[in-house]
Amino acid sequence: MRTLLLASALFARLFGLAAVPAPVPPASVPYSAFCMTEWLFATPCAEISFTLVRQIQAFSSLIGCDECQYKLVSATPPSIKANHTSPDGLQAENITFTLSPMMTGGCRVSGQSTSLGFTSLLDNGLNYCNLYNLLSGLFASLAAVPAPVPPAPVPYHAFCRTLWLFATPCAAVNATIVQQILAFSPEYELVSAILSSVKANHTSPDGLQAESITLSFRPTIMPGGCRVSAQSTSLAFTTLLDGGVNYCNLYNLLSASGLNSSPGFMEMTSEWACLGYGLATCKA
Ligand SMILES: *[C@@H]1O[C@H](CO)[C@@H](O)[C@H](O)[C@H]1NC(C)=O
Ligand SMILES: *[C@@H]1O[C@H](CO)[C@@H](O)[C@H](O)[C@H]1NC(C)=O
Ligand SMILES: *[C@@H]1O[C@H](CO)[C@@H](O)[C@H](O)[C@H]1NC(C)=O
Ligand SMILES: *[C@@H]1O[C@H](CO)[C@@H](O)[C@H](O)[C@H]1NC(C)=O
116-163 residue pLDDT tens = 554 455 555 544 554 554 455 445 544 443 333 333 344 567 778 888
Distance 42 CA to ligand 1 centre (A): 32
**Domain limits for position 109:** 11-144
Q: Confirm or reject: Cβ of 199 under 6 Å from ligand 4.
A: no
Distance 53 CA to ligand 2 centre (A): 20
Cα–Cα–Cα angle for 284, 134, 260, nearest 5°?
A: 25
Please indicate, yes or no, whether residues 140 and 163 belong to a single structural domain of this protein.
Answer: no
- Cα separation, 263 vs 165, whole angstroms: 9
Please indicate, yes or no, whether residues 223 and 247 belong to a single structural domain of this protein.
Answer: yes
Q: What percent of the chain has pLDDT over 90?
A: 22
Q: Confirm or reject: Cβ of 96 under 6 Å from ligand 1.
A: no
Q: Confirm or reject: Cβ of 110 under 6 Å from ligand 1.
A: no
Read off the CATH number of the domain in which 107 is found.
Answer: 3.30.530.20
Rg (the chain; Cα; Å):
19
Please indicate, yes or no, whether residues 264 and 210 belong to a single structural domain of this protein.
Answer: yes
Read off the CATH number of the domain in which 231 is found.
Answer: 3.30.310.80
Predicted local confidence at residue 198, as pLDDT: 96
Amino acid of residue 65: C
Q: Confirm or reject: Cβ of 260 under 6 Å from ligand 4.
A: no
Report pLDDT digits (tens) over 51-74.
778 777 766 654 444 334 678 899
Please indicate, yes or no, whether residues 129 and 49 belong to a single structural domain of this protein.
Answer: yes
For the CA of 35, the nearest ligand: 2
The chain-wide mean pLDDT, for the chain, equals 70
Q: Confirm or reject: Cβ of 81 under 6 Å from ligand 1.
A: no
- Its pTM stands at 0.57
State how many domains the chain has.
2
Q: Is the pLDDT of residue 214 over 80?
A: yes
- Cα separation, 220 vs 215, whole angstroms: 15
Has residue 242 been placed in a domain?
yes
Q: Of 82-91, 171-180, 262-271, which has the strongest mean pLDDT?
A: 171-180
Has residue 3 been placed in a domain?
no
Please indicate, yes or no, whether residues 132 and 202 belong to a single structural domain of this protein.
Answer: no
Residues β-bridged to residue 91: none
